[in-house]
Amino acid sequence: MTLSIDAQVATMPMAKALNAGLRQAMAENDKVLLMGEDIGKLGGVFRITEGLQAEFGEGRVLDTPLAESGIIGTAIGLAMRGYRPVCEIQFDGFIYPGFNQITSQLAKLTNRNEGSMQMPVVIRVPYGGHIGAIEHHQESPEAYFAHTAGLRSVSPSTPNDAYWMIQEAIASNDPVMFFEPKSRYWPKGEVDLSGSAASLHASRVVRTGTDATVVAHGAMVSVLLAAAELAAAEGISLEVVDLRSISPIDYTPILESVRKTGRLVVAQEAPGNVSVGSEIAATVAERAFYSLEAPVLRVSGFDVPFPPAKLEALYLPDADRILEAVDRALAY
Catalytic residues: 137
Closest to 178 measured CA to CA, from 315, 85, 45, 253: 85
Rounded to an integer, what distance in angstroms lies between the CA atom of residue 259 and that of residue 257?
Answer: 5
Q: If 0-12 CB within 10 Å is exposed, 13-18 middle and 19+ buried, where does residue 307 land?
A: middle
Contact 329, 297 (CB under 8 A): yes
176 — alpha (psi -120 to 50), left (phi > 0) or beta? beta
Q: Which residues pair with 242 in a beta bridge?
A: 204, 216
Rounded to an integer, what distance in angstroms lies between the CA atom of residue 117 and that of residue 102?
Answer: 16
296 — alpha (psi -120 to 50), left (phi > 0) or beta? beta
Contacts of 21 by beta carbon, 8 Å cutoff, 6+ apart: 162, 163, 164, 165, 166, 167
Amino acid letter for position 70: G
- According to DSSP, residue 51 is labeled T
